[in-house]
Structure 1
């Protein structure tokens, strides 16, 4: 079982997780585009903008590989991944 938690670094400390992914500095922030600023990852244009960022597909694949490694360890249980960006509304989800 995998639990994915989205959070914003501007709102406090990251949640406890097996793997924390910091998206603040390496992936495009839809917030800087006025037409996307007040949308969230629930909106298709935001998801499309994030998924069009070079490197994001490789990061998703690498994260899945890391989750598989945690899940195959000697102890069972939920593997928690925390994805963080500045505000937690656009890139992290």
Structure 2
């Protein structure tokens, strides 16, 4: 019998608030481009689809998600 586990990926900014409670936190600030540097995404949050798409389409992110 196998069980299905759910993994929730949450993007957050250390400058905005305390990090969310998590079993595992992976700090990728030095590895991947912050969507905040794009003027069209600057005033959006991780709750906005364009930001999520930008993060998930960053080279290396799909592989990281799969490996995690």
What TM-score does the superposition give when structure 1 sets the normalisation length?
0.51
* Count of paired positions: 62
Alignment of 1:22-37 (within 5 A): 22-37=27-42
Distance 1:41 1:55, change over 3 A: same
Distance 2:56 2:46 in 1: 11
Runs of 4+ with deviation above 3 angstroms: 1-7, 14-18
Distance 2:47 2:22 in 1: 23
1:62 alignment partner, one of 60, 64, 67: 67
**Helix, strand or coil at the partner of 1:53:** coil
Residue 19 in structure 1 maps to residue 24 in structure 2: yes
Q: Which has the higher helix share?
A: 1
Distance 1:3 1:48 in 2: 18
The CA RMSD over aligned residues, in Å, is: 2.3
What TM-score does the superposition give when structure 2 sets the normalisation length?
0.66
**Helix, strand or coil at the partner of 1:19:** coil
Unaligned runs of 5+ in 1: 64-93
